[in-house]
Amino acid sequence: MIQTTSPEIGGMGHAVKRKEDARFIQGKGNYVDDVHLPGMVFGHVVRSPYGHARLKSIHIDEAMKVPGALAVITGADLAAAGLAWMPTLFHDKQMVLATGKVLFQAQEVAFCVATEQYAAADMAELVEVEYDELPVLVDPHKALDPDAPILREDREEKSNHIFHWEVGDKQGTQQAIQGSPVTARVDAVFQRCHPAPLETCGCVADFNPVTSKLTIWLTSQAPHAHRTLFSIVGGIPEQNIRVISPDIGGGFGNKVPIYPGYVCAVVASLKLGRPVKWIETRSENLQSTGFARDYHMTAEIAADRDGTVKALRVKTLADHGAFNAAAQPSKFPAGLFSICTGSYDFPKAFCEVDGVYTNKAPGGIAYRCSFRVTEAAYLIERAMDVLAHQLKMDPAELRLKNFIPSDKFPYQCPLGWTYDSGNYAAAMNLALKMAGYQDLRKEQAEKRKKGELMGIGISSFTEIVGAGPGHTFDIAGIKMFDSCEIRIHPTGKAIARLGTKSQGQGHETTFPQIIAQELGIPQQDIVLEEGDTDTAPYGLGTYASRSTPVAGAATAMAARKIRDKARKIAAHLLEVSEEDLDWEPGKFFVKGAPSKAKTIQEIAFAAYTNLPEGMEAGLEAVHYYDPPNLTFPFGTYICVVDIDKGTGEVKVRRFIAVDDCGNIINPMIVEGQIHGGLTEGLAIAFMQLISYDESGNVQGGNFMDYLLPTAVETPHWETGKTCTPSPHHPIGAKGVGESPNVGSPAAFVNAVVDALSHLGVTHIDMPIAPWKVWQILREKGIT
């Protein structure tokens, strides 16, 4: 149990108002596009209009006539410097600027630099590129056909196949399925979509020829890792690179990779000796930077007639686009997809994934999720509903029957993960109660009699977050630890710096609360900084819900190191032995004599003024935390929908979300994260889609075609919580930012399918646009 601190201290559990808000509500945030440097010039990318074409020639003469034109950089220029290609985050490489051919629409072909932003865009219009069109491959199912065009001529292997990966007991699972009285199967596509944070990607690269120092203001969720990669790839000594990730206007995984535009801006700054700003347009963001999902999945469950599950088999085709730029640091090609047995006690399981290249934008980033856990959670929660439907069992009852029992934790799942803690039935029972589930089912039955369409969808997901551990997760070999450095000033105030980077999660507020909890220093006396690689300790960044599980742990551990030293100083000041002291947040006191005490502020002052003999001055600590395991947040979501028979429109009437993320640092912020994640889940279930036509043209390349929910489509979220702390985390926290986005898509889809289940509908692929439902209703003769 976490000891409750006073509101003045504001440790864990207090709904402290956010410190960062003061600047944001006054328009004084400092996003990358707000950076303005003397002599700064502007870059604009020339992009391919074709999905697959050979590059014949590039003519820059007309572009260079634009007033203010400074340079056009092409792939050939980069090739001369050995920079035409760069490594991706997953054992592949990608073109920075095209050489030879282009492999997806909107691929980077040239980079124009001018003194004014509009002039750089004018230049891009005037760069003449000649192409020879090549056959386009957009359907991943055709990627391995003998007549499919081979996309990657640069690879030794002349095939569009990237990887095959399998895990689990293949034979045992097959036998279980063959001998099973009941098997349920679902074929589900988790569509290609894009995180689309409201701020696009961009940078200001500033190479100072006098000092040889390169400073890059970057929309980066991982500034330290990016500094190292810039150093390794660009051959620039790492001490001469400073990456500053200022305020970030939303990330959701979009700002984990290094994009060609960043590299071009750096090259242009090195060439010109001036600061170069490059900011994406929205279309560039949606068409070329890290997409998510594009998993084409099949799940088969073997079960007894009473609904007890026996085995799960999953087969998936993963469309990675033109380059395998999956931003995932695990040792597994499909990341954490093997969490696909979810919350259920499957004796046997087998999972296999094949990755292929197509003429689409590269990526495979973890969009508000931990490296494919969203796909996994969606698949198993869909499959459980299909099984329930087949057995004519209530989906809640089926889940309750098959949950991993709370006394089986830590639980070893058949695909290799060790779940830290869980109490799935408790979360589900609370959600059922909040929803008034039995009454909803009665209402649904009555409505069906009247021909009205109402559905109830359940998702009881398990997440897997908080990468490391370092033995399984790394970026370019750098283990996925994270860090915190705390310095206590003589007056008892403090500064803390972390290796992570908030993009709206409220780190400036929550991490000081952890320190307040551990040291009793009021949270408002603690300043938190992150995102500047020259000042913050090295860390791997913020994504995959890893800040609290990893950097949060580092923060607690660093604070505990300080407390250990503070105890020694307190013993010295009180002239007792350390063993005679007790601690309560904010002070050490003599056992049995609470009036004989030294506050943390008095101790801090003494750390600089009155130390025990032989002790070093100062009161500070740094901790690098490599977690022993991942954390496994979970929850149950219940969605209620009504469907308009005339239009096919789905209205989400209610949505109940019970989350269990272990111990909570700031309940206000946790709730805000859940609201936001659910809304992105709603968007994925009903709206967001990046598709391609047969010629490789992106459909959904701007906000007119790539639909996002407004306040009107977004329902009122009803939230609840249970608390099952992580046993291995120093403060028992698990992380929460992604749970709602991971767990909710299945709840929405299950609700729509449930509304139509009496018509024989067992599955509808996302996004469930009104036209899809309308078409089904017409096919079923419902008007």
Partner 1 sequence: MAEKHHIRVRLNGVDKEADVEPRLLLVHFIRDVAGQTGTHLGCDTTNCGACTVLLDGRPIKSCTFFAVQADGREIMTVEGLIHDGKLHPIQEGFRQEHGLQCGFCTPGMMMSALALLEKNPEPTEEEIRWGISGNLCRCTGYQNIVKAVQYAAAKMHEGVLV
- Report, in Å, the least distance between residue 739 CB and partner 1: 14
Place of tokens 């001018």: 114
Q: How far is CA 3 from CA 513, 516, 518, in A?
A: 13, 12, 10
Q: Is 341 left (phi over 0), alpha (psi -120 to 50) or beta?
A: alpha
DSSP-assigned letter for residue 781: T
- Report, in Å, the least distance between residue 173 CB and partner 1: 39
- Which amino acid, residue 642? D
- State CA 370 to chain mean position distance: 6
- Report, in Å, the least distance between residue 418 CB and partner 1: 32
Instruction: Look at residues 38, 759, 782 and name the one whose alpha carbon lies nearest to residue 389.
Output: 759
- Report, in Å, the least distance between residue 488 CB and partner 1: 28
- Report, in Å, the least distance between residue 222 CB and partner 1: 17
Cα dihedral: 535, 540, 541, 543 (round 10)? 180
- Report, in Å, the least distance between residue 709 CB and partner 1: 8
Contacts of 612 (CB under 8 A, 6+ apart): 568, 569, 571, 572
- Report, in Å, the least distance between residue 265 CB and partner 1: 18
Q: How far is CA 510 from CA 12, 226, 326, 490, 754, in A?
A: 8, 25, 30, 23, 40
Minimum CB distance to partner 1 smaller for 31 or for 163: 31
The structure tokens listed for 159 are: 């095939």
Minimum CB distance to partner 1 smaller for 450 or for 716: 716
Minimum CB distance to partner 1 smaller for 171 or for 710: 710
List of residues contacting partner 1 (CB under 8 A)? 17-18, 20-29, 31, 33-34, 36, 67, 117-119, 196-200, 247-250, 252, 281-283, 503-506, 668-669, 671-673, 675-680, 702-704, 708, 710-712, 714, 716-717
Minimum CB distance to partner 1 smaller for 23 or for 91: 23
- Report, in Å, the least distance between residue 67 CB and partner 1: 6
- Report, in Å, the least distance between residue 138 CB and partner 1: 25
Minimum CB distance to partner 1 smaller for 583 or for 703: 703
Catalytic, 661? Answer no
Contact 269, 276 (CB under 8 A): yes
Minimum CB distance to partner 1 smaller for 400 or for 707: 707
- Report, in Å, the least distance between residue 342 CB and partner 1: 24
Minimum CB distance to partner 1 smaller for 724 or for 744: 744
Task: Please give the span between the terminal C-alpha atoms of the chain, in angstroms, as a whole number.
Answer: 56
Catalytic, 300? Answer no
Minimum CB distance to partner 1 smaller for 567 or for 675: 675
- Report, in Å, the least distance between residue 708 CB and partner 1: 5
The size of the chain, in residues, is 783
The catalytic residue among 508, 518, 602, 738 is 738
- Report, in Å, the least distance between residue 773 CB and partner 1: 23
Contact 567, 588 (CB under 8 A): yes
Angle between helices 373-391 and 739-756 in degrees, nearest 10: 30
- Report, in Å, the least distance between residue 115 CB and partner 1: 12
Instruction: Write out the DSSP string of 215-272.
Output: EEEE--S-HHHHHHHHHHHHT--GGGEEEE--B-S--TTTTSSPPHHHHHHHHHHHHH
Contacts of 538 (CB under 8 A, 6+ apart): 224, 483, 499, 624
CA diameter of the chain: 89
* Calpha distance 701→723 (Å, rounded): 41
Minimum CB distance to partner 1 smaller for 33 or for 525: 33
Instruction: Write out the DSSP string of 694-748.
Output: TT--EES-STTTS----TTTS--EEEEE-----TTSTT-B---TTHHHHHHHHHH
Minimum CB distance to partner 1 smaller for 714 or for 757: 714
The catalytic residue among 221, 328, 503, 688 is 221
Instruction: Write out the DSSP string of 276-313.
Output: EEEE--HHHHHHHS-EE--EEEEEEEEE-TTS-EEEEE
* Calpha distance 298→280 (Å, rounded): 36
CB-count exposure of residue 105 (10 Å: 0-12, 13-18, 19+): buried
Contact 177, 300 (CB under 8 A): yes
- Which amino acid, residue 604? A
Catalytic, 738? Answer yes
Instruction: Look at residues 105, 139, 104 and name the one whose alpha carbon lies nearest to residue 296.
Output: 139
Minimum CB distance to partner 1 smaller for 28 or for 778: 28
Burial 314-350 (b: 16+ CB within 10 A, else e): bbbbbbbbbbbbbbbbbebbbbbbbbbbbbbbbebbb
The catalytic residue among 264, 340, 369, 661 is 369
CB-count exposure of residue 473 (10 Å: 0-12, 13-18, 19+): buried
DSSP-assigned letter for residue 193: B
Minimum CB distance to partner 1 smaller for 247 or for 474: 247
The catalytic residue among 47, 242, 313, 368 is 368
Contacts of 439 (CB under 8 A, 6+ apart): none
Catalytic, 567? Answer no
Q: How far is CA 238 from CA 23, 234, 550, 663, in A?
A: 32, 10, 25, 38
Minimum CB distance to partner 1 smaller for 68 or for 470: 68
Contacts of 446 (CB under 8 A, 6+ apart): none
Instruction: Look at residues 253, 200, 275 and name the one whose alpha carbon lies nearest to residue 35.
Output: 275
Residues catalogued as catalytic: 221, 368-369, 738
